[in-house]
Amino acid sequence: MTARQNNPRRFYLNGIDWIVQGMQYNCQAAPGGNYQFLIISHLAGTPGPGRLRGCLHKLQEMFPLLSGKLRRNWFNLAPYWQAPFKAVPEDILTVVQLNEPDPEQACHQHLTGFLNTPFKDDMPKLAAMLLILPDGSSRLALNFDHCLFDAAGGEQLITVLNDLWNGAEPDASGFMAAEGPWLNEWRHQFVCGRTVNRALLAVRRQGPPSVLSSKPGGSNRYVLIQLDEAGFAALMKRADSEAGPMMLTPYLVTTIQEALHRIFSRRGDPNSICVCPMTVSLRQGRRDELFFNRWSLMPMYSSSVSSHEERLKQQVGLFYAYMKTKLPYSLTKACLLCRPLPLPLIAGFSQKPVTSGTAAIALLSQMEFDSVSMFGEEIKALYHVPRIPPSPGLGIFMNRRGSKLNITLSWTDGIIDDDELEILTAAIS
């Protein structure tokens, strides 16, 4: 029997969860919010705020760990998330009626502020904002703490919230797996650590990674690029033609890296080395994967002296090599060895150039929330906006929504200028 089963209020952190706590530490040390992300929905109408608030109250009652705290086991030092015996529902919904001449611009300003609003210690690690536009449509944003949710988990929670709206009464216990604390697999973790070390040495051999800024990050800004069905189909056709079938991700990584190399060349660095940690989902499609982080990283790197064909071939080769050596899985296991370390040390490791890289890249290729309506209203668009830690300070998040692709560029204030942003957006779109 695992420790989590012995104590149903104690949720041990996996290796990636502990790295995320280090990213949280870095975000809190800089101006702005925590390590958090938004899922924003454009709705054709406006759900009733009172009913929505009631559903959010029920959600907090279902999952007391939303109001939990980070703790350590006094004996083995394993970190865990401690849930209270019973949660007292808080009002976590902000409703704003927009009357500005340019409501879309007003929406963006409110959502940017929401992204940079940290969670209070005594409040749930979830918040919501409903923006009501003059034409009766609305924008609903849910703000998630990354220490409790990854992107797919956030969409999964929206599914639960939507079920509550529709009158369902889901069983909370079915959404939480009994895992941890993984104290009896030291030998396996060290073996995985060797795999990770070999991958990091290969990255270091490329030379010092180019970074966009060495200054502490500030508030985050973001811009959304939406590819419609025709635009996404054209992108897929190019990726299949140049990189091969099912190689959309390496193709997109190559496109982003080439834009970054152009930015560094513009800054007077013609010999840049771009390292882009790319997230990989480790989810198995289970219902009990709602909470915590179930992903890993693969460091994708390239040099500015390579041609487009060489760079694309390199990214495809790295992708296959990492899959063959099971690097994403090995990283999650190796990071378990770091859990006894103090959080500031983990925070320092997570922001080194070789691990944080030049820019972070993530692609959510499978929808966890695939409904065409939310809270009784038609969904016009649904996309993610991550808050990026000070290092690397730039992130590109992509999520597929049916036959469309949403691409969000998020960056810390001052790390790139408007002309450089144009280079990135033009390359991606």
pLDDT tens readout for residues 365-410: 778 888 999 999 999 999 999 999 988 999 999 999 888 999 999 9
Please tell me the predicted confidence (pLDDT) of residue 7.
Answer: 65
**For residue 22, which of 343, 387, 395, 388 has the smallest C-alpha distance?**
343
Read off the pLDDT of each residue in 289-310 and give the average, rounded to a whole number. Answer: 92
Percent above pLDDT 90 for the chain: 73
54: pLDDT confidence band, cut at 50, 70 and 90? very high
Q: What are the structure tokens assigned to 306, written together?
A: 């390579």
Read off the pLDDT of each residue in 298-308 and give the average, rounded to a whole number. Answer: 91
Q: What angle do CA 61, 65, 70 make, to 5 degrees?
A: 155
Q: What is the pLDDT of residues 239-260, one digit of tens each?
A: 999 999 989 999 999 999 999 9
pLDDT value at 306 more than 90? no
Whether the Cβ atoms of residue 361 and residue 392 lie closer than 8 Å to each other: no
| Domain 3-175 and domain 206-366+389-428 have a common topology | yes
CATH of domain 206-366+389-428: 3.30.559.30
Please tell me the predicted confidence (pLDDT) of residue 312.
Answer: 95
Read off the pLDDT of each residue in 29-37 and give the average, rounded to a whole number. Answer: 87
Name the least confident of 151-165, 289-303, 327-341, 358-372. Answer: 358-372
Please tell me the predicted confidence (pLDDT) of residue 288.
Answer: 85
If one compares 228 and 176, the residue with the highest pLDDT of the two is 228
Q: In whole angstroms, give the CA distance from residue 186 to residue 79.
A: 16
Please tell me the predicted confidence (pLDDT) of residue 184.
Answer: 85
Q: What is the pLDDT of residues 214-236, one digit of tens each?
A: 676 679 999 999 999 999 999 99
Read off the pLDDT of each residue in 294-301 and give the average, rounded to a whole number. Answer: 94
Quick one: how far is CA 35 from the chain centroid?
9
What's the one-letter identity of residue 290?
L
**For residue 116, which of 225, 28, 56 has the smallest C-alpha distance?**
28
If one compares 149 and 354, the residue with the highest pLDDT of the two is 149
CA-based max dimension of the chain: 63
Read off the pLDDT of each residue in 107-123 and give the average, rounded to a whole number. Answer: 94
| Fold of domain 3-175 | Chloramphenicol Acetyltransferase (3.30.559)
Read off the pLDDT of each residue in 274-287 and give the average, rounded to a whole number. Answer: 90
Q: In whole angstroms, give the CA distance from residue 241 to residue 251.
A: 10
Phi and psi torsions of 146, nearest 5°: -65, -20
First-to-last alpha carbon distance for the chain, in angstroms, is 51
Please tell me the predicted confidence (pLDDT) of residue 86.
Answer: 83
Q: In whole angstroms, give the CA distance from residue 57 to residue 88.
A: 9
Give me the residue spans of the domains in the chain: 3-175, 206-366+389-428
Please tell me the predicted confidence (pLDDT) of residue 178.
Answer: 64
Please tell me the predicted confidence (pLDDT) of residue 179.
Answer: 76
1: pLDDT confidence band, cut at 50, 70 and 90? very low
| Average pLDDT score over the chain | 91
Please tell me the predicted confidence (pLDDT) of residue 6.
Answer: 54
